[in-house]
Amino acid sequence: MSEPERAHVIRGRRCSSVLDDDDLLWEILLRLSPQPSSLPRASAVCKQWRRLTTDPVFLRRFCEHHREPPLLGVFGCDKENIVFAPSLGPPDRIPSVHFDLGLRSGCVNLLNRVLGCRHGRVLVGDYVRKQVIVCDPITGEQCRVAVPLEFRRVRFCGAVLCTAGDQGHVHGACHSSPFKVILVSMCCFHDERTLACVYSSETGAWGNLISTTFPRFTWDAGSSGLLVRNALYWLCTNEDRILEFDLEKQSLAIITVPPITMESWSCHIIQAEDDTIGFAKLSGSHFQMWQRNSNVHDVPTWVLWKNIEICNILEPPPHIDRSSTSILGYSEDTDEIFIWMEPNKYLVQLKSMQSKRPKTNYTSNYHAFTSFYTPGIFSSIVFIL
């Protein structure tokens, strides 16, 4: 055996001995990408790797290490159906059929509507049966809950969130964790009251009805609520207002939007720096971002945070036609916003201002779905290798 061949064999033996060490291999596997194909591919290498990547303790540590789950795609309405549109490319792209919620019937005329996605779950409003449906697209589990009597004659917005209090719990793999559903009435015409109510999966019951008086307005049932710290926010579709629901105080409040021309299709609430509420606006050839800060008198005010030429962040640069532009949705986990400028759709990361073009076929409200994928859960998923 020549000297180069002998050196190659020695290096191979050293590498093999390193990978035979479970503790060291564990640390290596923890640092794999959180994208959907990473752990399935690793688990296919050998029995040892499969054993480690399916260990519940490892999977919990894997989520803790990465903290933020990846954006897998969006849920929305395509003609009469509630559909999933993947946002990732191969080998991480998940076929739409694998996240089919099976809620095809009754989707016309807004009878069924996606209300929001959060912590690996999707919340759907069933306006025919007067229910909300909490769906886990990865496990296929669904939980139907009848809405309170006060919500059965009105449209409503809603949000779902995980309430797991385990030390080190990371949202994004919350399949068996307890959850809450928050409903708010989206119309206020006759008695000028807005209602809110919270459902807990731990008690299996709705809490006390929360109400407050506001002038006449309408919220958009198709828009997602935004979770910032311990409050949920919804943007009003026909007024310059934002509805705030404080989860701790169990109270409702109204916030005015920044001093802009309000057009609901070109605006979206977002997270700003320091975990405060922000506001995004398409304004002609510019993309504006506002942040709500407290002034020297401790009074919250809106401050223009960024004002960027659209052509500098979207590739390829679009032809700007105000009649064919809109903000379709926002992912609070990844801080990315979906923009439609006919004929293209863009996904913009708001920290880096880098954009890409996801392949989706509809232009309704986008509800971003983020979640970790782990061996055992994805056994039926086929990845393009």
Quick: pLDDT tens for 287-343. Answer: 999 999 887 777 888 999 999 988 888 876 666 665 577 898 999 999 999 998 877
One-letter amino acid for residue 38 of the chain: S
Task: Give per-residue pLDDT as tens, 84-101.
Answer: 999 888 899 888 888 988
Prediction pTM value: 0.86
Task: Calculate the alpha carbon distances from 250 to 58, 182, 198, 208 in Å.
Answer: 37, 10, 9, 9
Task: Give per-residue pLDDT as tens, 53-112.
Answer: 888 889 888 988 888 899 999 998 776 778 899 988 889 988 888 898 887 544 444 567
Please give the Cα distance from 264 to 325 (Å, whole number).
11
Return the HEC string of 42-78.
HHCCCHHHHHHHCCHHHHHHHHHHHCCCCEEEEEEEE
221 CB neighbour count, 10 Å cutoff: 21
Please give the Cα distance from 211 to 109 (Å, whole number).
28
Helix locations, the chain, DSSP H: 3-19, 22-30, 38-43, 47-53, 56-66
